[in-house]
Structure 1
Amino acid sequence: MAASTPVQKTEEEWRLVLSPEQFRILRHKGTELKGTGEYNKFYEEGVYKCAGCGTPLYKSDTKFDSGCGWPAFFEGFPGAINRSPDPDGRRIEITCAACDGHLGHVFKGEGFKTPTDERHCVNSVSVKFIPANSAALL
């Protein structure tokens, strides 16, 4: 479900389509405050798309309560999410494969009872939830 064509925009073009907070997080690798994101304790059926470009990233049935203060998923759609080490090498950053928007970080081996033993710790502002019964899901 990854976008077939990369989304490339100038910084000014991104500023026109993103809120200041989305721009800070998606384009400048920021982080929202722990426990403040709208999807932290949100569990409805649907799909989470990239807030920057609309690429589907996660199905709601991969979301779980990790207690970390940010939305947590155990896997994304194949090919939709890129991983790369942070400059300090301590964490693995996750970004949208289509627009390179910063989503958060992925952690492995924390012992969560999920199929992948991974926790994608995602900023709520980096994603947009589309309900299962919505025409926008298609």
Structure 2
Amino acid sequence: MSEQENFYFDEFFDDEDDPGVPVELDIKGRKVTIYIARGVSFHDKQAAKKQAVRMKVHPDGKISILGIDEETFAVEVLARTIKSWPFKYRQSGKTVPITKDTIRKFLSDGAEQLQAIVLNMVQKQEEALDFFESPSEEG
């Protein structure tokens, strides 16, 4: 009798209660652990694209993509995938909230490391879906 493989929710879905996985960044000579989602959900990726893609609708109804604002895409994805970070305000001791504004203020050496990790996850997910390209997109 063969053993049936199990497919657990927390392995294939974005679970808000999941604390995420730790990633260690080297920022200003210090090791900083930030917890990020195990993957980028379909919803989060589409929402980030919606914010970042600049489009034009032509009179005939066709849509042209004018460009993608890479910073906006990265900030949107990071805001949606960072689960927790250790940063606190010096005076109040309160945790710095994870918002698009605080991510934009994050020092570039830390933000760029984190961005590379998260965008690598997005790229791997997109590469896995390459076989869905329609013939009209090829060329």
- Under a length normalisation based on structure 2, what TM-score does the superposition of the two structures give? 0.29
- More helix per residue: 2
Which gives a bigger RCO, structure 1 or 2 (Cα 8 Å, sep 6+)? 1
- Under a length normalisation based on structure 1, what TM-score does the superposition of the two structures give? 0.29
- More strand per residue: 1
